[in-house]
Amino acid sequence: MIRFVDVHKSYRVDGRDIPALQPFSLDIADGEVFGIIGLSGAGKSTLIRLINLLERPSGGDIFINDIEMTVLAEPALRAQRRKIGMIFQHFNLLASQTVADNVAFPLRLAGERDAAALRARVDELLARVGLSAHADKYPSQLSGGQKQRVGIARALANRPSILLCDEATSALDPQTTASVLELLAEINRELKLTIVLITHEMDVVRRVCDRVAVLDAGVIVERGAVADVFLHPQHATTRRFVNEALPEEAASELTPFAQVPGRILRMSFRGDTTLTPALGRVARETGIDFNILAGRIDRIKDLPYGQLTLAMQGEHVEAALAALRGAGIEIEELHR
């Protein structure tokens, strides 16, 4: 469990305090994948570094598994840091060392000297990230995705309970991003590791996170389960991020619905309701007509969801809406 209590952070620049993070409290549960999304400069990079104290808070307390981090002396802090893995946007591998030595590095730092034990653990880690064949290469000989996999193997070496991901996929192309995210999800499932990731892409949050906090100019403006935040964003910043992930949807909201006959509704399906033919059944039963204007069916992590914007007309629209709500579909009216 990661717990922030009334934590805030400001930087001293030319004798003035520039606030980076306004006071906030936040709990991140064991085993969850927690996303922090924000534009550059929003403070997400500072926030994630507070967890392993690469940045010290200006005030407030940070607890990790009930250990108060801010009061630890240097050696105790180093011991705690070994239990928190971290991966980076630019990988930050040792260019002078082979892949195997990079992965062995945190083990050596922790005092492991036995060559056979090192070798065995490194082999195991490289196998997990699918790089067994590249053990003796140097980082400069690898692609971006492979470098990040080395970063992940290195971060897992000391069997941490927490993995911090600092824009881990921002320097990667979309396909590589997908495979790295898949690997992170797999690690979270199999090792029961808590993952905290920061990103500026809603799509990253949608694919792997359980919960998300939206950071805007040093303030957490919205937080909750990804499905809630994604399907019903409240804050303007959140809506902007969500719309980036849903280009069609964004476009459709700009369409002059006034010219479309009927009532304009947005329906959100989640989980099992996505898979039932509720809309067709209700339309048949109540005799309404509907016209789909925009829509998307996808997954939020493992949860299937659908979101349709449609125009509905007919005598029994109210009855139809009631029936749809009864079937577990969330409905918002965009225009009447």
Partner 1 sequence: MNLLQKLFPNIDDWSELGRACIDTLLMLGGSLLLTVLIGLPLGVLLYLTSKGQLRPMPKLYAITSLLVNILRSVPFIILMIVLMPVTYFLVGTKLGIRGAIPPLVIGAAPFFARLVETALREVQQGVIEASQAMGASLWQIVRHVLLPEARGGIFAGITVTAIALVGYTAMGGAIGSGGLGDLAYRYGYLSYKSDYMLVTVALLIVLVQLLQMIGDRIVARYSRR
Footprint on this chain of partner 1 (rule: CB under 8 A): 52, 54, 74, 78-82, 84, 86, 88, 90, 92-97, 105-106, 108-110, 138-140, 154, 158, 164
Q: What is the 3-state secondary structure (H, E, C) of the chain?
A: CEEEEEEEEEEEECCEEEEEEEEEEEEECCCCEEEEEECCCCCHHHHHHHHCCCCCCCEEEEEECCEEHHHCCHHHHHHHHCCEEEEECCCCCCCCCCHHHHHHHHHHHCCCCCHHHHHHHHHHHHHHCCCHHHCCCCHHHCCHHHHHHHHHHHHHCCCCCEEEEECCCCCCCHHHHHHHHHHHHHHHHHHCCEEEEEECCHHHHHHHCCEEEEEECCEEEEEEEHHHHHHCCCCHHHHHHHHHHCHHHHHHHHCCHHHCCCEEEEEEEEHHHHHCCHHHHHHHHHCCEEEEEEEEEEEECCEEEEEEEEEEECCCHHHHHHHHHHCCCEEEEEEC
Residue number with CB closer to partner 1 (158 or 243):
158
Residue nearer to partner 1 on the CB measure, 57 or 106:
106
In the sheet with 16-28, reading across from the earlier edge strand, the strands are: 16-28, 2-13, 59-64, 67-68
Residue whose CB is less far from partner 1, 49 or 296: 49
CB nearer partner 1, residue 80 or residue 243: 80
* Nearest distance from C-beta of residue 46 to partner 1, angstroms: 13
Q: Shortest Cβ distance from residue 18 to partner 1 (Å)?
A: 17
- CB of 54 or CB of 317, closer to partner 1: 54
Shortest Å, Cβ 138 to partner 1: 5
Please, what is the minimum distance in Å from the beta carbon of residue 85 to partner 1? 8
Q: How far is the CB of 106 from partner 1 (least distance, A)?
A: 4
CB of 67 to partner 1, least distance (A): 14
* CB closer to partner 1 out of 157 and 214: 157
Smallest separation, CB 75 to partner 1 (Å): 8
Q: Looking at beta carbons only, is 15 or 256 nearer to partner 1?
A: 15
